[in-house]
Amino acid sequence: MGFASEIWRYHGQVNNTPVEAVAVLADAQRRGLFGFVRRVRRPVTREEAAAAVGISAKLAAFHLDKLVAAGLLRAGREGPGGLPRVGRRPKVYELAEVDIRVSIPERRPDLIAEILVDAVVTQQPGEDARAAALRTARERGREWGAGERARIRPGRLGPERSLTLTEATLDRAGFEPARTASGEVRLRNCPFHQLAAREPDLVCGINHAYLGGVLAGLEATGVDAVLAPRPGECCVELRPGPRPA
């Protein structure tokens, strides 16, 4: 799983951000419809949903389609309960496979947890726990960076384009990058803040390894991830590195 999907996951083609998805539930009728579908845990028709919250079927269809557009529900033509039906089957709605969490500023303790679990499962002979965690973090970072590169298809990257692409990638992940006058990129937000405050050596090491993996996956040349802790910010910054030979 990549970092950008981190805070939230949608299994499907949905482009909304977590905040936009949650905003859809600001409407009380929409919340009621969504709650009904969650309770029954099966496909429902607009008529069933309308009766459950006491509104017209037409209004229910409008709100249900908004929930589909937000990625919270999915729609189809399967009969309720899987029962066969003669003629045109009614449109039905059911829960989408969705996990949305909103955090401001962005926080990702789950990523650290996943890295540590994978490290325990894949720990190699002669490898201590810390080394396994750093190796796993690099692998996860490289996997995400490679996925972003495949999605964006930036072509060959020189140092400046590498820095710009990395900055944009980490911005989407909630690191809040900001380029300084001297050319470094400071990461103003630490997604692992609470854990880093508790175990800074371990968590900052994992973060450093992860971001180094991201740079490798992006094939970003002439950019280094460097440990440079400052209060209230991420412990890593991006610096222009030696130009490749």
The pLDDT of residue 2: 42
Q: Which domain holds residue 143?
A: 109-240
Rounded average pLDDT over 170-178: 91
- The rounded percent of the chain whose pLDDT value lies above 90 is 63
Domain count, the chain: 2
What average pLDDT does the chain have? 85
Q: Which helix (H) or strand (E) holds 88?
A: none
Q: 80 or 145: whose pLDDT is higher?
A: 145
Domain boundary among 72, 100, 128: 100
33-76 pLDDT, tens digit per residue, is: 999 999 998 999 999 999 999 999 999 999 999 999 888 999 98
Q: 241 or 236: whose pLDDT is higher?
A: 236
The pLDDT of residue 11: 34
The pLDDT of residue 242: 62
| Whether the Cβ atoms of residue 9 and residue 111 lie closer than 8 Å to each other | no
Give the number of other CB atoms < 10 A from CB of residue 229: 13
Which one, of 17, 80, 19, 15, lies nearest residue 49 by Cα? 80
Do 134 and 78 sit in the same domain of this protein? no
Does the pTM surpass 0.85? The reply is no
Domain boundary among 83, 100, 117: 100
Rounded average pLDDT over 228-244: 84
Residue 118 has pLDDT above 70, yes or no: yes
Q: Which helix (H) or strand (E) holds 186?
A: strand 185-187
Domain boundary among 80, 100, 120: 100
